[in-house]
Amino acid sequence: YEDLPVYTDPEEACKPGCVEIHEDFDQYRKADFMVKGAAPNVAEHFKLRTGDVERGFKESDLVIEERYFVPIIQHAAMEPHSAHAQFDKESGRLTIWVANDAPFRALHEISEALGIPKEKIRFINPFQGGGFGSKGGLKVEPIAVALAFKTNGRPVRVKFNREETFISTLTRHEAVIYAKTGAKKDGTLMAREMTIYWGAGAYAEKSPTVCIRGSLPAPGPYRIPHVKVDGYAVYTNKPVAGSYRGYGIPQGAWAGEQQMDEIAKRLGMDPIAIRMKNMFVEDDISYWGEQLHAVGLKETLIKATEAIDWGKPSKAARPGVKIGKGFACIQKPTRSPTTSAAGVLVNAKGEVTVLAGTVEIGQGCSTILSQVAAEELKVPMEKVRMHPLDTDVIPFDASTTSSRSTYHMGNAVRRASIHAREQIMEAAGPMLEAKVPDLGYADGKVFLKDQPQQALPVGEVVRRKLGIHGEVRGDGSYTYEIGKDLDLETGHSDHASAFYMYATQAAEVEVDEESGRVRVLRMSAAHDVGKAINPLNCAAQIEGGVVMGIGSALHEELVIDNTGKVRNPSFLDYHLVTSLDAPELIPIVVECPEPEGPYGAKGLGEPGLAPTPAAIGNAVADAVGVRIYDLPLKPENVFWALQKKKKNAA
């Protein structure tokens, strides 16, 4: 045996002379878009090049540069990873029960790995007790499947305990971020250069795409003529990093949005004013070359800051406590291109069943998709039900990820519902002795336009046409085809995402100067949702994301020692936000309709978390006059930053 060096820092792991963690990396099968870095242990090197940053810095009146750090954190879903599997030798059928957020992708991967035809594999998805990105791909499933081949047809259950979930599934990427920004005296941004080292852990999992999708918008939702970004997904000897709510946006925002506040301070500007001067608006061309539409960012900024009384001083509750306010803005793309397909069944009782592959992970997709079907088929919500997710029955869906479901699956369900409605009207024509153009459709009935009293309930139409057990089935699918994909050398694309989500979150905090403890007093979150199909659902999503973001800002950190061992793999030592940590929450829904979305809707699931740490970081800096560059904002981190300030002052 030969002891090899242990790499626990992604920046250190890719320095010249480092030992390759994967010696055979060049022989691995890889996605076509992956670009291996020239340095050791770099699985993906993303490059974005716009203008000339050196020229931009020379033309700037102020240039600031800093290093930021975001640690590894755990998804910490309430439900640990668990799977059942059963193999029937006679039929050759393999059945898997698991809460996987992409069952069709998992089915494909198992089919490919075992050489079993896809039609011989069945995934049954129950409701998921939280995932946040951790329950995609294959984690616990392969163990259950392997054992099921040895039990003579008996089902096998494999369930991870909390320590196994913490160490053996996924974590969020740690990131070391170097950010350099140049601006004119009037606050006009001239150049931004960012170098980001994404800690991939022992295997790549989603690191190449997190590196790309996180690095691309890292400079922020601003007009910047000169931009240079280098993102490196780096192997380390740590647990595997993968998808996590926000998909790389929180890391970039932590650096970029704090730097925006610092620039404003040094130029003597209000942080709102400098952002309003530079932020994206309708029809702007982004620094990666895409024309932007449905941009509701300015309205989110105005409403979020108004909600915490920006510009009005707050009085501290007691001596030794400082109050501060801060905010942060983000823009987030979605995974593109992807496909969702759906079916809608209407029976002889007028009841509607929706066949959709979106996984219910607590985000309320069952409500949203039922609303879409009810809207198009003009039936009450209580007449609509979602079919349990079973790949033997449900049409294909790419995944329940990337805040894509309301947009993609919503469109698919809408089209399937329209298809079913058209068939019902065709069938009703002879029954009402009329042609389809002469028919109307409302309140679950087909009627004559010139004699509305002459009407048939949709269930009656189905019964007369197909019998008491008959069903009309509508089918629909949706794929948003992007234009030119990201250029591997410049990072440019004329359409990198089906849509973009915009948000501003603002925080008011108190900082105890004696202990360094940070307490969030209230937090507003204004999100451009396109169109709120269910406003209550939107508010709940925002609140959940904000609270999760507070945890990542103040408490959460997976502690890993210099041998790569996780030191806090349980809730005893890993501090999640509790109800006592949750502040006053002010969710704000901003509607800037997206033309391609169902009724104008976009996604919402991930942005609730993304700007939260940066907003809190800016509020802490406003409170105590000290900027802290490394997360989390634990009491000891804040305390020692305050002590350093006092020492420097002395």
Mind telling me the catalytic residues?
Answer: 606
Q: CA of 402: how far to CAs of 11, 205, 334, 398, 438, in Å?
A: 27, 16, 5, 11, 43
- 22/28 Cα distance (integer angstroms): 10
> What tokens were used for 23?
């010696």
End-to-end CA distance of the chain: 54
Q: How far apart are CA 545 and CA 513, in angstroms?
A: 28
d(CA 12, CA 638): 26
Q: Rounded CA gap, 142 and 162, in Å?
A: 19
In 3D space, the residue among 246, 317, 262 whose CA is nearest the CA of residue 509 turns out to be 317
What is the spatial distance between Cα 142 and Cα 113, in angstroms, rounded to a whole number? 10
The 3-state DSSP class for residue 422 equals helix
Tell me the pairing of strands 174-183 and 156-159: unpaired
User: What is the rounded CA–CA span in Å between residue 464 and residue 459?
Assistant: 9
> Exposed e or buried b for every residue in 406-422, given b needs 16+ CB within 10 A?
bbbbbbbbbbbbebbbe
C-alpha angle 428-434-437 in degrees, rounded to nearest 5: 90
Which runs of consecutive H residues, i.e. helices, occur in 216-270?
249-267
The residues with which 98 forms a beta bridge, in sequence order, are 83
Residue type, 408: H
Burial degree of 134 (CB within 10 A; 0-12, 13-18, 19+)? buried
Lateral strand order in the sheet of 93-98: 156-159, 82-88, 93-98, 121-125, 389-390
Pair of tokens at residue 529: 């949702």
Cβ contacts of 175 within 8 Å, gap of 6 or more:
10, 68, 69, 70, 196, 197, 198, 199, 214, 251
